[in-house]
Chains A and B, each alone.
Chain A
Amino acid sequence: MNFSVVTSQFWALCLQGLALGLIYSLISLGYTMVYGVLRLINFANSEVFMVGTFSILFIQVSVLGHAVNVEPIHGIQLIGALLLSLVGAMLVCALLAMLVELVAYRRLRAHGSNRLASLISAIGTSIFLSESFRIFTHSRPQTSPRLLEKWTFGEIAGANFRIDTVMAIIASIIIFFALDQFVNRSRLGAAIRAVSMSEENSRLMGINLNRVVTLTFAIGGLTTGAAAFFYTTIYENTQFNVGFNLGIAAFTAAVLGGIGNLRGAFYGGLALGLLEQFASAILGSQWKAVTVFLVLVLVLLIKPSGIFGEAVQQTRT
């Protein structure tokens, strides 16, 4: 127990917690969107994230040809490389999430199998992905090249405003805002909300259910890919099992905010990121996962519908 750290590094912990929390929020969208529509937990989302981090490595090392110990690059070249990694990871993750839906969920849904079957096939997909990467990378952690020089804007009250942290925070908020607008304003967003209210009625209204489901998986994949990009730029390494702990944390964030609820995922992620930073500063980082788990149990016990209530739209049958 080390409480003095809380007072001495309060703002630094807050800033780190904010960045981590936003990464959690982005991943938790992969759970929340799918849950809102299918009422199923997308277990493979954590591995979509893992594949996303590796796809960034692949783009930066193999496609752009940067060595792992490269000198930081600058200017237009840097922006181009970062944008390419971000968009590439988002696309890879979206495609993979759609593939996961096709392999693990679609057939089972068509046959009207029970929930247990879909859960098990999703877990199978997740194991398959993470273990394939384990064999592929020989269980070794992989370091990503540091393209972005980590300069700081300055220090305020002990909090170090580093470029990567600031970038992650601003960009995540923009992505969230865009997604919120998309779901609430656009025609496709209306379809998603309709399906989450009632699957049967929305089908009667002429909504192509499979297309909406694929779309929600793709959106979840896009945001998870963005999370993978921010994660690799901040932490600069990845491993085959990186999805496991982040996946549980992101799921907890989704439940904390109310699973199926977009804004809930945003605030849930923030709350969890802050909590985790403080918990690991006080108790030591090895107990981080335990805190997350305890939060999950407590939330489910006290208010299972989360802080902001379930479902993309409040209505639920």
Chain B
Amino acid sequence: MINIRDKGAEIWEGWNRPKRVALVLITIVLAGLLPFAASWGPTSFLNTPITSFQNVLVYPVGMFILMALGLNIVVGKSGLLDLGYVAFFAIGAYSQAILSTKFGWSTWEVLPVGIAIAMFSGMLLGLPALRLRGDYLAIITLGFGEIVRIIALNSKGTGGPNGVAGIPNPPAVFGFKFDLMHPEHYFWLVLGMILLVVWMIRRFTVRRPGRAWEAIRQDEDVAALMGVNTLVYKLWSFVIGAAVGGAAGVLYASKVMVISPDMFKFDVSVLILACVVFGGIGNIWGVILGAGILAYLPDRIRFISDARQVIFGLVLIIMMNLRPDGLLPRKKREKITEKSKK
């Protein structure tokens, strides 16, 4: 099968700097114009029937791309199956909800704190869990996701099953207001965070942590023998993934203004995993594409919306059986090393 990812990488590597900068800028501007796509004639078929297109772009599309990128660091880069990713999303969302309604913090003040809390809980979970073999990790993370939800459901501080209401929107920055009237501002904010995460992952990938993750993903024992401190690097990928999930949670809570425990069920973890797997495990562009498609389609095609989980389950089975590398597979040179191992 043709590897589009490799073709793209080939062209990209053949280009000089001005050409690359131009392409990046054009892509960013086009992405930034997306909120207006629904009202422009030729692309108006994108419009969604129930929720307004601009809101769909923020949640689920933007948020899921952000979270899928975060999960991709854990699952794709270092090969650890995390089935409780929703926990970090929930932790971020509840940090925002509690700190803003009880202590009057603004979203911008909560954001670093929420990220820090998510990272810390990622470390708390990771320290015991990452010592174990992969399939145990899957079960432990799955349990952790449920525990966070159960604690939120049964504690007084989190409002129990009713959750927290009246979470304030983020205050305006540079004249950009964040309220119900301006979903496009939210989208730009999420887009900015996505770009930041993409940049971060790309930097990591070419540096020591990226190489360590790659080594761990291919063969953990060999990596350890070569002197890679596997636990530390696994922990880092886990914690960075948690940070992205936490950031998404903080933004989500301040966008929807009301959160409750049933928004953070196991379904969400599976959905994000499906996004990663569908697009191409380990490949940023594939993950963005996969998350975009899987998050957007249920809102565009109504009858999918009720059966979306069934479809995501099917996506996981079919992709694993027929195209385990996803829509846009990772680089071939990484795949060759995978084959030679067998």
Give the B-binding residues of A (Cβ under 8 A): 40-41, 43, 103-104, 107-108, 112-121, 123-129, 131-132, 134-135, 244, 248, 251, 255, 286-287, 289-290, 292-293, 296-297, 300-301, 304
Contacts and interface: CB of A to CB of B under 8 A. Distances in A.
Contacts of A301: 128, 131
B140 A300 contact: yes
Name the residue in B138, B266, B312, B314 with the highest tally of chain A Cβ atoms < 10 Å from its Cβ.
B138
B320 A286 contact: no
Given A119-B134, A123-B273, 20 more contacts: A108-B320, A108-B321, A108-B324, A113-B320, A116-B79, A118-B320, A121-B316, A123-B316, A124-B312, A124-B313, A124-B316, A126-B313, A128-B314, A131-B313, A251-B139, A289-B150, A292-B143, A293-B143, A300-B128, A301-B131
B317 interface: yes
15 contacts: A41-B135, A115-B135, A119-B135, A121-B320, A124-B313, A124-B314, A125-B317, A128-B310, A132-B310, A248-B142, A248-B143, A287-B150, A289-B147, A289-B150, A304-B132
B83 interface: yes
A289 to B, nearest CB: 6
B140 A296 contact: yes
Contacts of B314: 124, 128
Name the residue in A115, A120, A125 with the highest tally of chain B Cβ atoms < 10 Å from its Cβ.
A120
A120 B140 contact: no
Determine the interface band of chain B, counting residues with CB < 8 A from chain A. Answer: 35 or more
Name the residue in A116, A117, A251 with the highest tally of chain B Cβ atoms < 10 Å from its Cβ.
A116
Contacts of B277: 120
B207 interface: no
A40 B132 contact: no
A286 B313 contact: no
B339 to A, nearest CB: 10
B172 interface: no
Contact of B136 (A128, A248, A304): A304
A128 B313 contact: yes
Name the residue in A43, A125, A300 with the highest tally of chain B Cβ atoms < 10 Å from its Cβ.
A300
Given A131-B309, A301-B128, A104 B317 contact: yes
Contact of A117 (B131, B153, B273, B320): B320
A40 B313 contact: no
B135 A127 contact: no
B154 A293 contact: no
Interface in B189-244: none
Closest 6 pairs between A and B when the two form their complex, measured CB to CB:
A124-B316, A128-B313, A127-B313, A121-B320, A131-B309, A293-B143
A131 B128 CA distance: 32
A127 B79 contact: no
Name the residue in B128, B131, B132, B146 with the highest tally of chain A Cβ atoms < 10 Å from its Cβ.
B146
Contacts of A131: 307, 309-310, 313
Nearest to A47: B313
B153 A244 contact: no
A219 to B, nearest CB: 20
Nearest to B140: A297
B313 A248 contact: no
A304 B134 CA distance: 13
A120 B317 CA distance: 7
A300 B317 contact: no
